[in-house]
Chains A and B, each alone.
Chain A
Amino acid sequence: MARLIRTEKEVEGEYTEQWVVVDDDDEALDQWPQGPGEVVGREAPRLDGHQRARGEAIYTADLALPGMLHAAVLRSPFSRANVKRLDLSKALALPGVLGAVEPGDAHVLEREPSFHGAPVAAVAAESFARAREAVAVIDVEWEELEPLVDAEDAVRQGSLLEEPRQYERGSTEAGFGEADVIVEAEYRTQTVLHNALETHQSVCRWEGDTLEIYISTQFIWGIRDSVSEQLGLPPDRVRVVCNFMGGGFGAKNSPGDYTYIAIALAEKTGRPVRCALTRREESLAAGNRNATVQRLRAGARSDGMLVALEGEFVNAIGWKGFSGPTYGPMEMLYACENVRTVTHAAKLNLPPNAAFRAPGFVEGTFGLECVLDELAGRLELDPLELRRRNHADNDLVDGRPFSSKNLLECYRRAEPHWSRRDDVRARSEGPVRRGVGLASQIWYGGGGPPSYAWVRVGSDGRATVITAMQDIGTGTRTAMAQIAAEQLGLPLERVRVELGDSARGPYASISAGSSTTPSMGPAVRAAAADAARQILEIAGQRYHLEERVLSLRDGRVVSADGGSWPLEEVTGLLGDAQILGKGSRGPNPAGMRVLTFGIQVAEVAIDVETGEVRVERIAAIHDVGRVINPLGARSQVEGGIIQGVGHTLSEERLVDPATGQVLTQTLDAYKLPTIADVPEIVAELLDIPDEHLTNLGSKGLGEPPIVPTAAAIVNAIRDATGADVRSLPVTREEMLRALAEAREREKVAASPA
């Protein structure tokens, strides 16, 4: 029966309590035994692979609705300005221009833009080229105002997005008093851009009284809810569609300015309107991973036990956005009883941030795990051993037990990679120094309700999973089919998945916070189990057998007494009717903390004359519960690490420090990793189901692999050269600075006192 429960929901480290409806039966399913099943746990090429590879998949970028117009947006060229005059008449006079909007027509358009790229006005025309011409002739007079662009200035001046966040457990004062060694350092991370290859975009049209939004998004239902609320429409009069999407990485969780601009222009012109950001707009107005400053202090006893951790964090947010949990790793990763953090959310005249693959934890892990290695060096203790000694057996933030944690097993499996250290160092030659570094990983990824799925079985004995989720490229379509196939005893090719449309499937969770598989997977399994139960009920009546002796296997209904019938013989009785199974995601285990864990070991080569850093090898061992598709899972790990390598070595959004204007707006200026920059990657997943978590025991995998990469690389640099890199990216300048500082330190140490 349907049951209304109050449960805790976590996305990207934010916990909220909410009501959800679940079905008692869905929680009753026992987990499958550990190890590969018939389909689940075995490598499956992605179901939509050929469509995507052949260019047949229709992305939002490819959609051309009849009569569709193209929007172009006038964006502020200044970080802070006042629009003194705005006259759209010249733009509207151009042939082929059918409408224009200005502040007042859509809430996202502003008369006092507060960051470079803030939208001010927009036009809709018959071609994008004409729309851009029209934007260029808009008569606008700007009054340029003094921007605030330095995060530490903002903290000093009190320009904050929210009150400083304070956290304390135990007494760090007492802790540092007990410490034999104290390390103190300041770390900085840069602003990086998501740069999904499909830019942010929507096509909006009114279809009768329903607003249709075709959008490149990570959260179909979030778009529906946000837009309906903003426009005052009943939610079901907003239909959101996203069948294929070209990457998000956290930046596509909300409607953005482009959707509201397209809606306003569609309203004004009565035509469907596409609003697609250009790559340059994408670099301004599509979100970013904000820069951070981290002043850290760590104390340990001579046996390596951490006695105090202190962190002051500045998140350089931009004009809007959210203050991510940069403090998270310091509070959660180790069994340290005395921890104090304070986090400032600097509000600046810079483009707003957005979630980016493990926001906060990527940055915070870099600082914390580098400090840990500095500490290990001072204590003359093996860095892996230091981490082992400080292993947390439960969550020290709230005392909860973990639903499962196999980090020590990850550490054990890291040993063969870590023990390559002497050999790697010995391969240093001439100016090229080699070294090995490691870093530990903690992050969320438990998912949660509400999430629902249906499974339809037709007379042909084939199944279709129906749910209004999205596959953002992570392969969730395939994973959901595998789960349904396993439960229905069907080969994978007899299961398809229909997703991507809020009007044609039940509510599905966001594809962010590593939550898609742990949220949706259990609902799909429950729906398949409901369909299977109905099939067996029909078979039992048809063959005069009790249901409990029947099961589904290899595409057949199988009886314990040896009888066996093709599934389609049973479902064929339905004629054109169909079986519909329904499933919901049950609550997370009460009173437990559901987290993911892991470790990465990096090998690097540094040319100490030029400052060039090359990552040669990364071994990654992660604990994310049961693995549904080892093929797709490996791709997630590799992709996360490669984004981490870019974050560590080459990517940086640069702004003019005087004006706040973004300088890196193109993909030649903003350096993404290429195929030639990729190290050897060894990916291992423990594949141990979390016995307390859902009917699957699966956690999320999208984010964990990017979390420890930067710290592992920078720790390897220290191992190779003795240099303390303190800011990202590790440009040649930063590398040479750190090397010079290390040489200076050695000189001082060597000189007689």
Chain B
Amino acid sequence: MLEIRVNGVAREIETPVGRTLAETLREDLGLTGTKIACGEGHCGACTVQLDGVPVLSCITLVHTVGEREVTTIEGLRDHPLVDAFVRADALQCGFCTPGQIVSAAALVEDEPEPTPERVRQAMAGNLCRCGAYPRIEEAVIAWRG
């Protein structure tokens, strides 16, 4: 039995060694807000936070999480970034958006007033094939409304 803390709640799960955090979140815990788009750590769609640090959950083994707090998009659903993204039209198909918001939330936690350059640097690991990038930049800069 493995215990991990997800969005402030302790969860006990039975899961085989070798399972990724992304699979555990999506399949064992039903937290499908975390998306898997490449499954090998190249696109950022699966981004979650471990103790506030963005990580790629599709290449993080669940047994390595330990006591670190996992924060997924479900734990950030009332974050002002969500409104900011919708307001700025910073999403199209929306498949990358949870990962974008999780990355952005870590950024604005550390730097509440990021410059455009800083946003571009911090968000460069989150691919968006629809090309919502200009609006993502706008949303992250104006995240407090």
Binding site for B on A (CB under 8 A): 45-46, 48-50, 52-59, 61-62, 64, 194-199, 244-247, 249, 278-279, 472-475, 631-632, 634-635, 638-643, 666-668, 672-676, 678, 681
Residues of B within 8 A of A61 (CB): 35-36, 95
Report Cα–Cα, A609/B119, bound state, in Å: 29
Q: Knowing that A52-B94, A635-B130, A675-B128 touch, tell me 10 more A-B residue pairs with CB under 8 angstroms.
A: A53-B85, A56-B77, A196-B93, A247-B93, A472-B93, A473-B95, A638-B133, A667-B38, A675-B120, A675-B137
* A248 → B minimal CB distance (Å): 8
Assess the A197–B92 pair: CB atoms within 8 A.
no
Nearest chain B residue, comparing its CB with the CB of A637: B131
Task: Name the residue in A45, A54, A195 with the highest tally of chain B Cβ atoms < 10 Å from its Cβ.
Answer: A54
Asked whether any CB of chain A lies closer than 8 Å to the CB of B110, the reply is no
**Residues of B contacting A195 with CB < 8 Å?**
129
Q: Chain B 20-59, CB within 8 Å of chain A: the 1/0 string?
A: 0000001100011111111110110100000000000000
Chain B: CB-nearest residue to A641: B131
What's the nearest-Cβ distance from chain A to residue B14, in Å?
Answer: 14
In contact, B127 and A638 (Cβ under 8 angstroms): no
Whether A245 lies near B93 (C-beta < 8 A) is yes
The CA of A614 and the CA of B130, in the complex, are separated in Å by 20
Contact B32 A62 (CB under 8 A): yes
Which chain B residue lies CB-closest to A473? B93
Distance, CA A611 to CA B93, complexed state (A): 34
What are the residues of chain A within 8 A of B40 when measuring CB–CB? 279, 666
**Complex contacts, B96 vs chain A, CB 8 Å:** 197
Q: Which 8 pairs across A and B sit closest by C-beta, in order of nearness? A: A55-B33, A473-B93, A52-B94, A246-B95, A642-B131, A639-B131, A49-B86, A667-B42
| Nearest CB of B to A447, in Å | 20
| A residues in contact with B91, CB < 8 Å | 46, 49, 52-53
Chain B residue nearest to A667 in the complex (CB): B42
By a CB distance below 8 angstroms, the chain A residues around B32 are: 55, 58, 62
Q: List B119-145 residues whose CB lies under 8 Å from chain A.
A: 119-121, 123-137
A246 close to B131 (CB less than 8 A): no
Chain A min CB distance to B32 (Å): 4
Q: In the assembly, what is the distance between CA of A64 and CA of B36, in Å?
A: 15
**CB-CB < 8 A to A247: which residues of B?**
92-93, 95, 129-130
The chain A residue with its CB closest to the CB of B32 is: A62
- CB of B70 within 8 Å of the partner chain: no
In the complex, B87 has a CB within 8 A of chain A: yes
Taking CB atoms, residues of chain B closer than 8 Å to A675 are 119-120, 123-124, 126, 128, 133, 136-137
Q: Determine the chain A residues whose CB is within 8 A of the CB of B87 once the complex forms.
A: 45
**Do A50 and B129 touch (CB < 8 A)?**
no
Contact B95 A197, beta carbon cutoff 8 Å: yes
CA A639 to CA B128, docked complex, whole Å: 9
Assuming A666-B42, A675-B133, is B98 touching A55 (CB within 8 A)?
A: yes
A50 vs B73: C-alpha distance when bound (angstroms)? 12
B82 at the interface (CB under 8 A from A): yes
Cβ–Cβ contact B39 & A198, under 8 A: no
Given A247-B93, A631-B89, A632-B89, the answer on whether A197 and B127 have CB atoms closer than 8 Å is: yes
Q: Are A672 and B94 in contact (CB under 8 A)?
A: no
Q: Within the assembled complex, what's the spacing in Å between the Cα atoms of A678 and B92?
A: 17
Contacts of B83 in A (CB 8 A): 50
| Cβ–Cβ contact A199 & B37, under 8 A | yes
The residue in A197, A198, A632, A681 that gathers the most chain B C-beta atoms within 10 A of its C-beta is A197
| Prevailing SS type, chain A contact patch | loop
Complex interface: chain A residues within 8 A of B6 (CB): none
Known: A638-B135, A674-B124. A666 touches B82 (CB 8 A): no
Expressed in whole angstroms, the minimum distance between the Cβ of B130 and any Cβ of chain A is: 5
Size bin of chain B's contact surface: 35 or more
Which residue of B is nearest A43, CB measured? B89
Query: Chain A residues near B128 (CB, 8 Å)?
Result: 197, 675
CA distance A64 to B23 in the complex (A): 13
A666–B97 Cα distance when bound, in Å, is 20
The reply to whether B77 and A667 contact each other, CB–CB distance below 8 Å, is no
Q: Which of A55, A61, A678 gathers most chain B CB within 10 Å?
A: A55
- Say yes or no for B74: interface residue by CB 8 A criterion: yes
CB pair A53 B132 closer than 8 Å: no
Contact of A667 among B33, B127, B130 (CB under 8 A): B127
Q: Report the Cα distance A666→B135, complex, angstroms.
A: 26
Taking CB atoms, residues of chain A closer than 8 Å to B62 are none
Question: Given A197-B37, A197-B96, are A672 and B134 neighbors across the interface (CB < 8 Å)?
Answer: no
Q: How far is the CA of A638 from the CA of B138 in the complex (A)?
A: 13
- Cα distance A55–B30 in the bound complex, in angstroms: 12
CB distance from B29 to the nearest CB of A (A): 12
User: Judging by beta carbons under 8 Å apart, are A635 and B37 in contact?
Assistant: no
**Which chain B residue lies CB-closest to A194?**
B129
Residue numbers in B under 8 Å from A473 (CB-CB): 92-95, 130
Please give the distance in Å from B69's CB to the nearest CB on chain A. 18
**Contact A54:B135 (CB < 8 A) given known A197-B45, A675-B124:** no
Determine if B86 and A197 form an interchain contact, defined as CB atoms under 8 angstroms apart: no
B71 to chain A, nearest CB (A): 12
List chain B residues, Cβ under 8 A from A46: 86, 89, 91
Q: A61-B36, A198-B37 are in contact. Are A672 and B124 (CB under 8 A)?
A: no
Residue of B nearest to A49 (CB): B86
Q: Contacts of A56 on B, CB cut-off 8 Å? A: 33, 77
Is B95 within 8 A of A59, CB to CB?
A: yes
A289 to nearest B CB, angstroms?
A: 14
Q: Flag if A635 contacts B136 (CB, 8 Å).
A: no
Whether the Cβ atoms of B93 and A666 lie closer than 8 Å is: no
Min Cβ gap A546→B in Å is: 43
Q: Assess the A639–B92 pair: CB atoms within 8 A.
A: yes
Q: Is the CB of B132 within 8 A of A639?
A: yes
Q: How far is the CB of B31 from chain A (nearest CB, A)?
A: 8
A57 with B94: CB separation less than 8 A: yes
Which residues of A are found within 8 Å of B39, using beta-carbon distances? 278-279
Instruction: Evaluate whether A53 and B94 lie within 8 angstroms (CB atoms) in the complex, with A638-B131, A666-B38 already known.
Output: yes
- Residues of chain B contacted by A475 (CB below 8 angstroms): 89, 92
Tell me how far the C-beta of B87 lies from the nearest C-beta in chain A, rounded to whole angstroms.
6
B89 to A45, Cβ gap below 8 A? yes
Docked complex Cα distance between A46 and B86 (Å): 7
On whether the beta carbons of B86 and A53 are closer than 8 Å, the reply is: yes
Task: Give the CA-CA distance A642 to B92 in the complex, in Å.
Answer: 13
Asked if B42 contacts A50 (CB within 8 A), the reply is no
A55-B77 CB under 8 A given contacts A198-B93, A245-B93, A246-B94: yes
CA A247 – CA B130 in complex, angstroms?
A: 7
Query: When the two chains form their complex, are residues B93 and A55 in contact, meaning their CB atoms are under 8 A apart?
Result: no
Query: Bound complex: CA of A246 vs CA of B93, how far in Å?
Result: 5
| Chain A residues, Cβ within 8 Å of B130 | 247, 473, 635, 639
Which residues from A are CB-within-8-Å of B127? 197, 667, 672, 674
How far is it, in angstroms, between the C-alpha of A442 and the C-alpha of B26 when the chains are bound? 44
- Are A53 and B97 CB-contacts (below 8 A) given A672-B127, A675-B133, A676-B124? yes
Q: What's the least CB distance linking B74 to chain A, in Å?
A: 6
